[in-house]
Amino acid sequence: MKKIQLKSILFFVIILIVGVSFYKTMHHSDFKTTSSKYLFLFKDSILNKVDTEVDFSWVADQDILNHYIYYDDLKNKKDYYELNDTSYNNYYIDIWEFKSLIKCNLEDVFINTRSIIGESKFNFQYIIDPDSYRPISIKYFYKIDGMILNFGDNTKVIKELNGLKYKGFYGLCDKISICNKKGEPQIYINFAKSQTPTILLLYKGHNSFYLIMINSSKKLDDNIIKILNLN
């Protein structure tokens, strides 16, 4: 009887370990402290304007999504999701590290603004930040082994942005799909407001690969990327 009980306990422990590992592999977990490790991507001269009280991270094995608020004027500190309130000017910044693309170069990833996204949801998905200005739908068992970005039909590129270690654009976005190297959608970013002013960059630096997205409650132009350390 004791042998049977021991086997049952051992079986349960194995199932629990496998289940936890499986969950961590396919799902993002919330961690408050991780985002502070990515502050090096901001220039030291503006760090006092990055609100470290509301920054947050969503962590998975393949990637880590970090969210920050940068205040153009520290007097304008307000609540988290007031993107549509144009009475002040804050910047909402996502810095998304894709550890699975660490060996990729900028030439290996593609921004395809001419490809139109249709339905932007998955049959089996979970949603990061569902009540925000840009809920993010992630396919269960997603795999980012390359990157092709496609966009909704209301997306408009105003200016292309290119540097030694980054490429992207400033424009208006409604939907973004992050696809694997086969062009299969793995992640959808659905903006609550059509044609949301957006700066989107793919950045290869600091021994990793990042997708950086900046949105604003009011004014937005490409000068804002000067607050970032993109050397």
109: region left, alpha or beta (phi > 0 left; psi from -120 to 50 alpha): beta
Examine residue 11 and state whether it is found in any structural domain, yes or no.
Answer: no
List the single range of 36-40, 43-47, 69-73 with lowest mean pLDDT. Answer: 69-73
Residue 20 has pLDDT above 50, yes or no: no
pLDDT at 76: 58
What total number of domains does the chain contain? Answer: 1
Examine residue 93 and state whether it is found in any structural domain, yes or no.
Answer: yes
197 close to 222: Cβ distance less than 8 angstroms? no
Examine residue 22 and state whether it is found in any structural domain, yes or no.
Answer: no
Angle (CA) 218 111 144, round 5°: 105
Which tokens go with 208? 């990793």
Neighbours of 164 (CB within 10 A): 10
The more confidently predicted of residues 150 and 7 is: 150
Residue 83 has pLDDT above 70, yes or no: no
Mean pLDDT of 125-149: 92
Examine residue 45 and state whether it is found in any structural domain, yes or no.
Answer: yes
Which tokens go with 38? 């990515």
pLDDT at 77: 61
pLDDT at 19: 40
Examine residue 13 and state whether it is found in any structural domain, yes or no.
Answer: no
146 close to 187: Cβ distance less than 8 angstroms? no
pLDDT at 193: 86
Q: Amino acid letter at 120? A: S
Structural domain for 99, as ranges? 30-227
Residue given tokens 């079986």 in the structure block: 11
> Cβ-count burial of 74 within 10 angstroms (0-12 exposed, 13-18 middle, 19+ buried)?
exposed
Which tokens go with 203? 């950045």
The more confidently predicted of residues 64 and 84 is: 64
pLDDT band at 13 (very low <50, low <70, confident <90, very high): very low
Q: What is the dihedral of CA 225, 209, 164, 172, to 10 degrees?
A: -40
Q: Amino acid letter at 169? A: F
Which tokens go with 110? 């593609």
pLDDT band at 28 (very low <50, low <70, confident <90, very high): low
Residue 79 has pLDDT above 60, yes or no: no
pLDDT band at 14 (very low <50, low <70, confident <90, very high): very low
pLDDT at 81: 47
Examine residue 156 and state whether it is found in any structural domain, yes or no.
Answer: yes
For residue 89, which phi and psi values (nearest 5 degrees)?
Answer: -135, 95
Instruction: Indicate the SS3 state at residue 91.
Output: strand
Examine residue 160 and state whether it is found in any structural domain, yes or no.
Answer: yes
Name 28's Cβ contacts closer than 8 Å, sequence gap at least 6.
58, 59, 60, 65, 126, 128, 138
CA distance 62 to 143: 8
The more confidently predicted of residues 219 and 215 is: 215
Examine residue 76 and state whether it is found in any structural domain, yes or no.
Answer: yes
pLDDT at 24: 44
pLDDT at 61: 86
